[in-house]
């Protein structure tokens, strides 16, 4: 999630009013405030009010062009998110802004991006999403050969079992690194 942080007063006044929308993987964090207005914002937002201990104190639906002053006396900051993902936040939830930056939201659901494919230098190349796995060349060759030669239902069941076994082995493995 990309989080734009608004610290100074002039940025806070403009906020997201010059945007036409906010995607599910973007947010705006307003520091040192407990109130927000939507009077110049042309799209609905989820407003997550957060206290000094980074706990969610209230969640409000921000209406486009609303002159209402959205406020929470317990809050010290406000996170504005796409209205479609507001249900992912809960009252008293402890928010780690750094961890929040690493999350992605797709199709209304949360996708944790905590598995990363690294190159030979150890630099990240891509996030592995949900149940994606990397398997060895040997396992890939075994699967593709069995798949190419599977003609009967029994052979397809055998292929499914092989893939399941590889998946279960992968879940129990520690991270592996290669120099190739």
DSSP notation for 92-108: T-B--HHHHHTEEEETT
Question: Which tokens is 145 given?
Answer: 């050969």
pLDDT score, position 22: 79
Angle at 11 between CA 8 and CA 13, to 5 degrees: 105
Rounded to an integer, the average pLDDT of 4-13 is: 65
Q: What span, in angstroms and rounded, lies between the C-alpha atoms of 47 and 27? A: 10
Task: Report the pLDDT value the prediction gives residue 157, as an integer from 0 to 100.
Answer: 87
Higher local confidence (pLDDT), 101 or 52: 52
Q: Does residue 67 sit in helix, strand or coil?
A: coil
What is the third-level CATH fold of 2-106? Answer: Jelly Rolls (2.60.120)
Question: Across 51-170, where does the E strand assignment appear?
Answer: 56-62, 69-71, 77-82, 103-106, 109-112, 115-118, 124-128
CA distance between the termini of the chain = 32
pLDDT band at 166 (very low <50, low <70, confident <90, very high): confident
pTM: 0.55
**What pLDDT score was predicted for residue 17?**
61
């Amino acid at each position: 999630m990309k989080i734009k942080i608004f610290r100074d007063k002039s940025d806070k006044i403009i906020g997201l009013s010059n945007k036409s929308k906010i995607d599910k993987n973007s947010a705006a964090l307003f520091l040192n405030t407990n109130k927000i207005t939507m009077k110049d914002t042309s799209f609905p937002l989820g407003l997550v009010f957060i206290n000094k201990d980074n706990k969610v104190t209230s969640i409000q639906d921000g209406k486009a062009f609303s002159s209402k002053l959205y406020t929470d006396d317990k809050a010290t900051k406000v996170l504005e998110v796409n209205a479609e993902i507001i249900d992912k936040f809960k009252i008293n939830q402890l928010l780690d802004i750094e961890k929040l930056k690493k999350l992605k939201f797709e199709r209304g659901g949360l996708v944790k991006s905590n598995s990363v494919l690294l190159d030979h230098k150890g630099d990240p190349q891509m996030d592995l999403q949900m149940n994606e796995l990397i398997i060895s060349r040997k396992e890939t060759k075994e699967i593709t050969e069995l798949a190419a030669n599977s003609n009967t239902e029994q052979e397809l069941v055998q292929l499914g079992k092989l893939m399941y076994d590889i998946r279960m082995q992968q879940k129990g493995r520690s991270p592996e690194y290669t120099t190739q």
